[in-house]
Amino acid sequence: MKINNIASYNFKRALTTQELQSYKRLINDAQKQLNIQDTTAIVFDFNTPQKKGENTSIGTTFSNEAQNFAQFLKTMFNITSIQLEPQGKISLFNTSPYSGTNFSFGEHIIDLKKLEDSGLLKKGYVRNLDNNYPFDKIQREYKTNYEYILPKQKEALKEAYYTFKKGDFSKLKEEFETFKKENYATLESESLFEILAEKYQTENFDLWEETDKNLYNPQFDQNKRSQRIEQLKEENKERIDFINFIQFIASKQQKEARKEFSNKGIKLYGDCLIGFSQSEIWANPDCFLKGQYYGGPDPNCPDGIQTWGLAALDYTKIGDFDKENISSLNCTGKLLYKKYSEFFKRYDGVRMDAAWQFVVPFVYYKNNGKYSQVELPELNYKILDIVKKAAKDTLKDNYNPDNIMLELVGTSADKSREMTKNIYPHLYTTAYSQYDERPEKFLQKGYRQGKFYTGTGCHDNDSLVNMAKNEEQRRIQKQGFKEDFKLDLNDFEYKNNQQYQNQNTEEKERENFRNAKLSEIFTSQKQFFTLVDIFGMEERINISGKPSSDNWSVRIPSNYEEFYFSQCAKGYGLNLPKALSGAFKMKKMNNGFIYSKLNELADILRQKGPNTTKEADMAYNRGELGNLFEYRA
């Protein structure tokens, strides 16, 4: 756990309730002048804080506390959307959300407090989990403990299920029956896969007995398959019902949470995986190529190939598609249409993971210990048209091309970038400035403002705090600031702040660098931020290609408000007034009243003072704050 030496809470200056009103007015007016269209927070469920006294050691965006946290993000950073990272199943053996399921939710993100509130768990159940946590409770605030919580989550869900079956939950039981009928096919294959994987103690279905391995293979004997399916269903009635119950509860909580986000004016974008889970491959064997996998070119990897290990689709079975009639799609095309339709039902839009793979696919196989690329024809718009059709059919009048974000990084993405430029918004990270991934460069390449998002980094990049420590990174990035804006890092310093001035030269340069990088993002009309960078934390979300117990574990603590102001007052995290004033400077808009008020407000957030808005109100009432910040348009 690394939180930039925040051992004392004496250095911070939260805003009072009255000041927050001026804050919001100023931020709105500043963003209007900059023509900001969308600010999105990248959120993994495990990132999200839990309420003090209800900390189970893993977060979820399904919870009521996640709604409070989202309101804080909206107030302080004026976010208009959240990019939710994959919400599928995980296991203790692989906690990466990017190896999860597309059609089924992971049980780890079900909010136990909501089950308690609905009577499915006993009162005090979650508080007891918190109180009886046997490990370091401070570390739990900042790091997910999968080994502890996944078994505990299963226990809780079993107890909730038995209470549900025995209790008087007539309306909920009616909803459950409807859910099972509407999702019959997916629920059947997912539940049978889970049962068989447990029987064989492996998800590698190639190691299963022949009939079980081919349970959904149309090339295998139909009678044997049908008989085996019925046998499994008969022998595992209660287990299957429990597995379906988990999906029902997760789906119900997701819909409720989405409605609450919408009521706050926050759109939800779901992260749509490039790959499929083992259960989905098993249930759709005709759609995948045996022994062939998605990857990417990488001169630093063996045989020049980045091996992702994700089973590749059989593109010869997409079928014909005239952009209107899906009946002529073959099995692969139908699976893709189903996948995207499901995502657009759950979310307001999608981020397409590794979207370039659907234009110029990179597939490899392994033979005699050597990796080799499979030569495949380019797909052009074939799959993108299926995505568009699924979006139109599902979202109807709410469809907008901007609902489809494309991740198009890497040398293989050149054609897909050109094909989709100014049609669908692209996502880029300015951490790759050496490859000209900077807002000004995209404009020079013919991108229109509003058709690309920029962020300082994504879940696979190092944190902004660590980037600032890297002298070579600073050198590369500084060159970009000079070239694009004719500015140096000293242009982003605090002129009159004593805490800032007390730092040594290296510390000042690092802080100036962080401020400049955050400002640069706001020169584009759409931007995104990880929670790690918003809160100025050192931890990485993931180190790509390097298995680590620290991957997919970083959390925001339950005292996130005082934690944010602590970080901000020490020069870490997203000081939004400072970032916006920097964007004004970069765009040569720095001579007005709004610009001066942004700097005034940024300096307040860098001062000593109370921890939270509540404490700031109390300090003001005691006459300890002096004059309050005020802004009237």
Rounded to an integer, the average pLDDT of 157-180 is: 98
User: φ and ψ at 433, to 5 degrees?
Assistant: -60, -25
For residue 516, give both structure tokens: 């400049």
Q: What average pLDDT does this structure show over 168-186?
A: 97
Whole-number pLDDT of residue 3: 46
With b meaning 16 or more CB within 10 Å and e meaning fewer, what string describes 573-589? bbbbbbbbbbbbbbeee
- Provide CB contacts within 8 A for 205, sequence distance 6+: 193, 196, 197, 212, 213, 278, 282
| CA atoms within a 13 Å half-sphere pointing along the CA-CB vector of 57 | 23
**Residue 456 predicted with pLDDT over 50:** yes
Element housing 194 (H / E): helix 184-200
pLDDT tens digits, one per residue of 107-137: 999 999 999 999 999 999 999 999 999 999 9
Query: Locate tokens 């597939």: which residue?
Result: 363
Residue type, 281: I
Q: Which residues contact 131 (CB under 8 A, 6 or more apart)?
A: none
- Other CB atoms closer than 10 Å to residue 189's CB: what's the count? 20
571 close to 6: Cβ distance less than 8 angstroms = no
The yes-or-no verdict on residue 6 having pLDDT over 60 is no
Q: Tell me the mean pLDDT in the region 589-597.
A: 94
Q: Is 313 helix (H, G, I), strand (E, B) or coil?
A: strand
Separation of alpha carbons 216 and 213, rounded Å? 8
Residue with tokens 């704050």: 625
Task: Transcribe 396-434 into DSSP letters.
Answer: GGG--GGGEEEE--SGGGHHHHHHHTTTS-EEEEGGGGG
Please choose, from the candidates 408, 509, 450, 573, the residue with its C-alpha nearest in 3D space to the C-alpha of residue 41. 573
User: So what's the pLDDT on residue 485?
Assistant: 96
End-to-end CA distance of the chain: 42
pLDDT at 2 over 60: no
Low-confidence winner among 250-254, 363-367, 623-627 (lowest mean pLDDT): 623-627
pLDDT of 4 higher than 70? no
- CA 632/CA 402 separation, integer angstroms: 33
Q: Residues of the chain with pLDDT > 70: what percent?
A: 98
User: What pLDDT score was predicted for residue 561?
Assistant: 97
Give the least confident one: 209-223, 410-424, 510-524, 548-562.
Answer: 410-424
Q: In angstroms, how far is CA 581 from the centroid of its own chain?
A: 27
- Domains of the chain, earliest start first: 17-104+265-279+328-364+380-386+395-616 (3.20.20.80)
Q: Is the pLDDT of residue 622 over 50?
A: yes
Torsion sign across C-alpha atoms 560, 564, 567, 573: positive
State the pLDDT at residue 12: 54
Residue of higher predicted confidence among 6 and 318: 318
Q: For all residues of the chain together, what is the average pLDDT?
A: 94
Structure tokens at 534: 């918003």
Q: Are 458 and 540 in contact (CB under 8 A)?
A: no
Residue 5 has pLDDT above 60, yes or no: no
The pLDDT value recorded for residue 141 is: 97
Cα 468 to chain centroid distance, Å, stands at 23
Asked if residue 11 has pLDDT above 60, the reply is: no
Element (H, E) at 526: strand 526-530
Greater pLDDT, 2 or 11: 2
Write the pLDDT tens digit of every residue in 493-552.
Answer: 998 888 899 999 999 999 999 999 999 999 999 999 999 999 999 999 999 877 788 999
Q: What is the DSSP track for 30-72? A: HHHHHT--EEEEEE-GGGS---TT---S---TTSHHHHHHHHH
Kindly list the distances between the CA atom of residue 117 and the CA atoms of 124, 129, 158, 558, in Å, as whole numbers in the listed order. 10, 15, 16, 20
Helices (H), 36-183: 64-77, 112-117, 125-131, 137-142, 146-166, 170-182
Q: How much is the pTM?
A: 0.95
Mean per-residue pLDDT, 380-399: 95
Return the pLDDT at 9.
32
**Cβ distance 279 to 194 under 8 Å?**
yes
Mean pLDDT of 615-633: 91
Q: Which residues contact 376 (CB under 8 A, 6 or more apart)?
A: 315, 361, 363
Q: What is the pLDDT of residue 609?
A: 83
